[in-house]
């Protein structure tokens, strides 16, 4: 369910002008004159807990807790690391919220990227489906995503604008600041509490000439700062990169100049979430008389949703199907799809592997990688480029010319944001630890004292509370559980570290299955044990080792008093004990022979 909701606070003013920060005592006193419940209960403390996004890029989820009220900002996923074999993605651990579900007054989603919305379908039912607040495009993407998860309850979504003001519970009043990113409808959340205001930027950059979006409102940002900001929580993803982020319009102009020079087919790989970039490509296609062949499920979904709600505008005839692609001259075609990160199963990878039903690389094709390289994907992307060139294509990427603009503020933009907002306390978020630390150093450069900067780990509790006439912040030693919750197919949280360790063992050293058949009356082995090897050795080329292993297993069974009298006997009368002995002995035997330790799975059959 999506509803339109917009309210004004009773005073009709910016919330931090009503609640204030520690430097505005008169206004803070006015607030507490009408809101004394929390103070009387001794709960005059704001707790800030980040469940994900302080040790990785992804899994973003932040909790603000005051008294017995909680609001949540973002519910994202994290894509698996290389050693997480078979895992689809990782979501935040919400153990801390168990038993506190009724405290949750609302969930704010800053924008529509999966690292901010990807866990919604898995968590909302568990958290008793509190109301949600997000932009129009974000709501469309969330609604589309949760349809794939029938177990998710019907969401109670409120669409927000930059002038929305929302009261959640007694202690949280929210305003929103529209920010630029690589997707429309991105908002920073300004949360006013009884002890001061907190701003969570979400992902942002400062773009003075964005595509299909409003430019950064520096005057509004400065106004928020002038009213007093207690804590700023800001995006750190590009904090290690000097300078200013490139404007999206600059990228569009550069791609337009390329279109003027290219005679053959243009194949563009980019993120499906780069809605602004995709809009620019559609506009250029119509300008240069080209048709677009759109590929990738997420690409098609995002274009459809953005067009439905008016965030993308183009002639429907610009998009062509398989049949039309075959008959249109190459110089009138743009093929736009996903897979610029070299992902298996994505459009570009299918093309170079000759697995796509229609598209194949041919001489004269120009392939534009309009995206940056996500760390860890370098080898896959390089291999993809090599295959494209081998098949006759020409590659253009962002290091050759400006065909990609990042969605995150670089160092000078980050410093400008902090200078305008002038927070008393600063907490870098959304990045690996070295990114957080780099952002913290920038904060010191603009004059924020090091004691007022909190570089936390996931789950580490930050408190802000009144002490006399001051609001004092502290990075405590308290930590809540943020262990990985891994999603594997339909399973959520049922894959443990032990399971991953087993998968890694099988991937590195393989496995063998040992099948021992035993006479149930005498306990003697019947015939030679059967052995099945997968990923360890090729049995036909290692007959001697296989035969030695069989004899070893047969000896173990013979030497084991398997059917000893359970009363006063010393032998094994338990299948599991025999299996454990076979597993340990065979594992050591194979290690001595091969210096590899495959997983050994014994099977005992009594006949």
Residues known to be catalytic: 235, 408
Beta bridge partners of 453: 426
- Alpha-carbon distance of 227 to 234, in angstroms, equals 18
415, 446 Cβ separation under 8 angstroms: yes
Report the sign of the C-alpha dihedral through residues 250, 251, 254, 255, in that order.
Answer: negative
- Alpha-carbon distance of 391 to 357, in angstroms, equals 17
For 582-585, the CB contacts below 8 A with 24+ separation are 582/514, 582/516, 582/553, 582/556, 582/557, 585/552, 585/556
Strands (E), 15-88: 45-52, 61-66, 69-73
- Alpha-carbon distance of 527 to 540, in angstroms, equals 20
Report the sign of the C-alpha dihedral through residues 375, 379, 380, 383, in that order.
Answer: positive
Task: Map residue 174 onto helix, strand or coil.
Answer: strand
What does the chain come to in residues?
Answer: 607
DSSP 528: P
- Alpha-carbon distance of 353 to 359, in angstroms, equals 11
H-run or E-run covering 221: helix 218-226
Which candidate, 251, 237, 273, places its Cα nearest to that of 368? 251
The interaxial angle of helices 411-421 and 218-226, nearest 10 deg, is 40
Which candidate, 303, 305, 313, places its Cα nearest to that of 338? 303
Which residues, including other chains, have CB under 8 Å from residue 456's CB and lie 6 or more apart? Answer: 50, 54, 427, 462, 475
- Alpha-carbon distance of 356 to 349, in angstroms, equals 9
Beta bridge partners of 9: none
């Amino acid at each position: 369910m999506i509803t339109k909701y917009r309210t004004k606070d009773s005073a009709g003013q910016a919330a931090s002008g009503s609640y204030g920060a520690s430097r505005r005592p008169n206004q803070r006193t006015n607030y507490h004159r009408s809101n004394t419940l929390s103070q009387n209960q001794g709960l005059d403390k704001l707790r800030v807990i980040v469940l994900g996004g302080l040790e990785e890029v992804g899994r973003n989820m932040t909790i603000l807790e005051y008294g017995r009220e909680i609001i949540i900002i973002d519910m994202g996923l994290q894509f698996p690391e290389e050693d997480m074999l078979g895992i689809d993605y990782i979501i935040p651990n919400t153990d801390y919220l168990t038993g506190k579900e009724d405290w949750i007054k609302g969930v704010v989603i800053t924008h529509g990227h999966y690292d901010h919305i990807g866990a919604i379908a898995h968590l909302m039912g568990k958290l008793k489906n509190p109301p949600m607040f997000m932009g129009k495009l974000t709501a469309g993407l969330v609604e589309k995503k949760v349809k794939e998860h029938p177990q998710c309850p019907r969401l109670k979504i409120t669409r927000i604008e930059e002038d929305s003001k929302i009261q959640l519970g007694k202690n949280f009043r929210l305003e929103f600041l529209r920010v630029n990113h690589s997707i429309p409808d991105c908002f920073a959340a300004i949360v006013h509490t009884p002890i001061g205001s907190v701003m969570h930027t979400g992902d942002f950059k400062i773009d003075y000439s964005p595509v299909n979006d409003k430019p950064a409102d520096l005057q509004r940002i400065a106004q928020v700062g002038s009213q007093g900001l207690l804590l700023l929580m800001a995006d750190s993803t590009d904090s290690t990169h000097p300078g200013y982020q490139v404007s999206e319009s600059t990228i569009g102009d550069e791609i337009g100049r390329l279109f003027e020079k290219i005679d053959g087919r243009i194949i563009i790989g980019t993120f499906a979430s780069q809605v602004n970039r995709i809009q620019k490509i559609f506009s250029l296609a119509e300008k240069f008389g080209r048709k677009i062949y759109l590929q990738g499920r997420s690409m098609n979904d995002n274009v459809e949703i953005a067009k439905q709600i008016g965030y993308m505008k183009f002639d429907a005839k610009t998009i062509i199907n398989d049949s039309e692609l075959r008959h249109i001259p190459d110089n009138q075609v743009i093929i736009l799809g996903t897979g610029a990160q070299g992902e298996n199963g994505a459009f570009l990878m299918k093309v170079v592997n000759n697995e796509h039903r229609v598209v194949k690389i041919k001489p004269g094709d120009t392939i534009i990688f309009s995206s940056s390289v996500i760390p860890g994907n370098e080898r896959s992307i390089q291999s993809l480029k090599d295959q494209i060139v081998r098949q006759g294509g020409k590659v253009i990427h962002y290091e050759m010319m400006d065909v990609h603009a990042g969605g995150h503020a670089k160092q000078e933009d980050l410093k400008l944001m902090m200078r305008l907002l002038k927070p008393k306390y600063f907490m870098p978020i959304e990045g690996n630890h070295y990114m957080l630390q780099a952002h913290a150093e920038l904060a010191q450069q603009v004059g924020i004292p090091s004691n007022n900067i909190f570089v936390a780990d996931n789950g580490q509790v930050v408190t802000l509370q009144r002490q006399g006439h001051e609001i004092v912040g502290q990075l405590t030693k308290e930590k809540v559980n943020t262990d990985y919750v891994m999603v594997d197919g339909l399973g959520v949280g049922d894959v443990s570290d032990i399971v991953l360790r087993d998968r890694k063992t099988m991937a590195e050293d393989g496995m063998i299955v040992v099948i021992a058949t035993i006479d149930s009356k005498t306990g003697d082995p019947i015939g030679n044990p059967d052995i099945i090897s997968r990923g360890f050795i090729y049995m036909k080329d290692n007959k001697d080792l296989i035969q030695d292993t069989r004899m070893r297993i047969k000896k173990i069974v013979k030497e084991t008093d398997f059917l000893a009298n359970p009363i006063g006997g010393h032998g094994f009368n338990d299948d599991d004990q025999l299996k454990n002995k076979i597993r340990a002995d065979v594992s050591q035997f194979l290690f001595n022979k091969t210096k590899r330790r495959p997983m050994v799975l014994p099977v005992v059959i009594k006949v």
